[in-house]
Amino acid sequence: DSGVTQTPKHLITATGQRVTLRCSPRSGDLSVYWYQQSLDQGLQFLIQYYNGEERAKGNILERFSAQQFPDLHSELNLSSLELGDSALYFCASSASGTKVPGELFFGEGSRLTVL
Amino acid sequence: ELKVEQNPLFLSMQEGKNYTIYCNYSTTSDRLYWYRQDPGKSLESLFVLLSNGAVKQEGRLMASLDTKARLSTLHITAAVHDLSATYFCAVDITSGTYKYIFGTGTRLKVLA
- Is the Cβ pair B43, A106 closer than 8 Å? yes
Who contacts B59 (Cβ-Cβ below 8 Å, separation ≥6)? none
> For position B77, what pLDDT does the model report?
96
| Closest alpha carbon within chain A to B43 | A106
User: Residue B8 above 70 pLDDT?
Assistant: yes
> For position A99, what pLDDT does the model report?
52
Give the nearest partner residue to A107 out of B42, B97, B102, using CB atoms. B42
> For position A40, what pLDDT does the model report?
67
Closest-CA residue to A2 (of A30, A25, A31): A25
Q: Which of B30, B37, B42, B89 to mutate to test the interface with A (most CBs of A within 10 A)?
A: B42
- Is the Cβ pair B40, A90 closer than 8 Å? no
- Phi, psi (5° rounding) for residue A65? -145, 160
User: Residue B52 above 60 pLDDT?
Assistant: yes
pLDDT, chain A, mean: 91
According to the 3-state scheme, what is the secondary structure of chain B? CCCEEEECCEEEEECCCCEEEEEEECCCCCCEEEEEECCCCCEEEEEEECCCCCEEEECCEEEEEECCCCEEEEEECCCCHHHCEEEEEEEEEECCCEEEEECCCEEEEEEC
Mean per-residue pLDDT for A40-62? 88
> For position B27, what pLDDT does the model report?
82
Q: Any chain B CB within 8 A of the CB of A103?
A: yes
- Is the Cβ pair B42, A98 closer than 8 Å? no
User: Residue B96 above 70 pLDDT?
Assistant: no
pLDDT band at A9; cut points 50, 70, 90? very high
Measured CA to CA, the distance from residue A13 to residue A115 in angstroms comes to 6
> For position B94, what pLDDT does the model report?
65
> For position A102, what pLDDT does the model report?
76
- Phi, psi (5° rounding) for residue B103? -70, 175
- Is the Cβ pair B41, A33 closer than 8 Å? no
- Considering only residues B35 and B94, tell me which one the structure prediction assigns the higher pLDDT: B35
- Phi, psi (5° rounding) for residue A74? -130, 150
- Considering only residues B73 and B95, tell me which one the structure prediction assigns the higher pLDDT: B73
What is the share, in percent, of chain A residues with pLDDT greater than 90?
Answer: 72
Is the CB of residue B106 less than 8 Å from the CB of residue B34?
no
Mean per-residue pLDDT for B13-32? 91
B79, amino acid identity: A
> For position A28, what pLDDT does the model report?
86
Is the CB of residue A95 less than 8 Å from the CB of residue A28?
yes
pLDDT in tens, A30-41: 889 999 998 767
H/E stretch holding A83: none
Taken as a whole, chain B contains a residue count of 112
Q: Any chain A CB within 8 A of the CB of B9?
A: no
Which chain B positions have a beta carbon within 8 Å of A42's beta carbon? 88, 102-105
- Is the Cβ pair A42, B98 closer than 8 Å? no
> For position A15, what pLDDT does the model report?
97
List, in sequence order, every residue forming a beta bridge with B7; answer none if it has no partner.
B22
